[in-house]
Structure 1
Amino acid sequence: MDLVRHLECFVAVAEESHFGRAAARLGMAQPPLSQRIQRLEKHLGVRLFERTSRQVTITEAGTLLLAEAREVLARSEALMATARRIRDGETGLLRAALPPDLSGETVAALLAGFAEGAAGLEVELHELSTAQQLAAFAAHELDVGLIHHPSDVSGLELGPVLRRELGVLLPGDAAAAGLDEVPLASLTGHDLILFPRAAAPAVYDDLLTTCARNGYTPPAVRHAQGASFVRGLVLSARAVAFGPRDAHGDAEGEAPQGPSQGPSEAPSPGLSQGVPRNPASGVVWRPLTGAPLALRHSVAWPEGRGDPAVAAFAGAATHALRTTAGATPDLPSRPLHLRPASEYWL
């Protein structure tokens, strides 16, 4: 039995004191209305109305239950209104994820922009790698996220693809540190520090493939994500790591202007997360000749889930990346799909 619909009939008859008028108010015929009242009385186990050929009088039990019935109907309407707002993206909970390579400035700008564009919407924000986000999408545990390309985007819709060029972090006394731009081939002999492959397999393979095509095959690939560990490997193991300018652009070998900003905690896609920007640390950042390496991002969400809340998040993320991270629109020259790990070895 549809209790809410039957309670609507009960309240209408009680307020109209007439089955005909109540039926007209509800947009239904009188016989079905009488049948619903009878079914409700049977369900509740009490008589709600005294009926005569001339009038309908609410019983004492009916009077006692009327306020409760009105409250149930009010709560039901409130529930439906909230559901409509959630459906329309006006309020509710949005489960979102960002990769661990964004600077604090970018995250703050994203959240500020989203709050302005989607007032009343609560965000449950997680820090997840691309692989973790794809798994969460598949498990229906995520509404929207910012992923790296290339990756397996089947079943997902994408926002604009944005590109952040990668430079190289290397010891300050390395030969390549004296160059204005560093060819990848000049890194020969240095181990490479990369994020664990499981975090973004296709991005990992894509980076190694591009390095090999440009004359750099590292003797060994070391895995690290934490800022201190990456810094230690760069300084002590004569290794190099890749990172975007927005995270490491002021570690360029010139004396810093004004007070030292101290270590940067802004990670780069697990590439060289949080390596200190201050040249005094012995680590310098240099752009790569020809900009062969780049991070590619886009907001992703399940197909058919592109409601106003997701659109607001996508817009805020795109704006934040462009204004705080120097990201530029990218038109990939190849499909954004998961590519075989074996490609690097071909």
Structure 2
Amino acid sequence: MSEARLVLRSMSEVVAAVPHFLGVHPQESLVVVPEVTGDTPVARVNLPRDAAQSAAVAEGLARAYAGTGVGVVLLAYTEHSGLARQVCETVRERLEPAVAVIGAVAVDGVDWVRLDGPHRGQVSQSERDLMTAEFLLRGRPTPFASPEQLRQAYASSHPIPQEHMDIGADRAATAARGGPAGHAEREWITATLDRAAAGHTVLPDPDAARLISDVQHVPLRDHAWASMERDTASRHAELWRDLLTRSPDDPTSPASPDSPKSPVPAVAPVASLTAFAHWLDGDAVKARVALDRIPPGTSYQMARLVNLALEVGMNPRAWTPRDDFAGSQPDESLREESQRRPSVGQGQAIREPPKPPDGCGRDGPPR
């Protein structure tokens, strides 16, 4: 993910910073850290297990970092030093000379060893504390200990009482038809999102139910979508993540615009908005976890488009918010921008956990 520029003075500090960049302590992963953080993202990919996978990953990373003008450090998180060396060598061969590899490192817990030199070391508690303090000052939470712990933070934990959802659904259905009720609801959405993003507010059940119900309808969802900007994306992401853990799992939403006869689970638009906010913040790791909350077999266009942006490595800086997308469909603008980007190999790049080969969630059909 992208961060304001951070000066890292040693390899131990680089290793200590990685969990904060990703939001989770990586396991069996290849992580790419640019020598100048800020404009260029940190990437993570599942550690390849054979030559073909390594070549695909190398191709995706080469495309992602082409033209950035910065060198990178490769960090292989595994206890298997031979695998770490093979993967880093394959990636280095593909990246150079266009992208300079200024370091290749195998990391096992707090221990690290250079694969391109004699140096080795161990991340000290003081270095971990320093990075924790640095990222807290930047408004970043403490990283999750494992991918499983990260997934649990997006799981359903305290669904909103059904009586609140029923009231919200009735109001949203009226507002979605437009007119004065629709205008008033859009103003409420704007005020609620601005207030929550500014103050890290957790919405009370009635307001949470109202917002969840609103975004089941595409016009109201698009209004919420259009409100997101990069400088407040992390706060929007946390708001929508909280709503995702409180959304009912039952298919109580209107029929899918992609498949009109099929009702959409209420989590689909909420998960899609959560994922988009994370992507806009440069956090592809959490964006994929949010998308995985969508039940298998669900057809939902926004989820597919956010997934496409992740697949092709679309730069969040390319996103330009519009006032309800100036009358155009937001999915069209996202699709057009993502199609300008190369897609070869990016299915393997900048992600956690791995994307299912053909599906939505763990094993379903395409979103």
Specify the TM-score bucket, using the shorter chain as the normaliser. under 0.3
Higher relative contact order (CA 8 A, sep 6+): 1
Structure in which a larger fraction of residues adopt helix: 2
For normalisation by structure 1, the TM-score amounts to: 0.24
For normalisation by structure 2, the TM-score amounts to: 0.23
Give 1 or 2 for the bigger CA radius of gyration: 1
